[in-house]
Structure 1
Amino acid sequence: MANSPSSKKRARQIERRTEVNKSRRTRMRTFIRRVEEAIASGDHDAAAEALRAAQPVIMRSVSKGIVHKNTASRKVSRLAHRVKALAA
């Protein structure tokens, strides 16, 4: 347990940041899930639209420090590949 005043303050700050980060991570996963559901339904137009909506959210999570840049790029790339495969 934190004892010094500075470590107690740090613990409070971490608690607040954890909540914010959790919310942002959940939002990103929700957008990814929407794309995956559209892919599963087989609707290319809906999947493409969902991907267009998800891409900025995923990349924004990089700038907020939620995920690594390469992880976000990999997720976008794999989703885009699956959406493109629907059109064929």
Structure 2
Amino acid sequence: MANTASARKRIRQTEKRTARNRARRSRTRTFLRKVEEAIVGGDKSQADAAFRAAQPELHRAATKGVFHRNMVARKLARLTARIKALGAATPAA
């Protein structure tokens, strides 16, 4: 247990920050799941809409330090490619 006032304060701050980061991570994963579900469903317009909603959330999480910015860039690039392929596959089928 913390003995000094400053250590007790650091514990309080860490708990608040952890809760905030957990909520932000959960919210971001929800947005990603919606994009994934739209892609699996094969609905390009819904996938586009979900992606446009998820993009700022992912960038915000990277800015706040919840996710690494390169991971966010990689995820967005891969999702973009999958959505683009979804649109290309629809007319050919």
The TM-score range, normalised by the shorter chain, is over 0.9
2 CA distance for matches of 1:52 and 1:20?
23
Question: For structure 1, which runs of at least 5 residues remain unmatched after alignment?
Answer: none
**Per-residue deviation, 1:76:** 0.6
**TM-score normalised by length of structure 2:** 0.91
**1:14 matched residue in structure 2:** 14
Q: Which runs of 4+ in 1 moved over 3 A?
A: none
Distance 2:3 2:77 in 1: 46
Deviation at 1:61, TM superposition (A): 0.6
Q: What is the root-mean-square deviation in Å for CA atoms of aligned residues?
A: 0.7
**1:16-48 deviation line (CA, Å, top 9, x unaligned):** 110001000011000000000000100011001
Q: Does 1:54 find its partner at 2:54?
A: yes
Stretches of structure 2 lacking an aligned partner (at least 5 in a row): 89-93
Larger Rg: 2
Alignment partners' CA distance in 2, 1:2 and 1:74:
40
Deviation at 1:75, TM superposition (A): 0.8
* Amino-acid identity (%): 53
Count of matched residue positions in the alignment of Structure 1 and Structure 2: 88
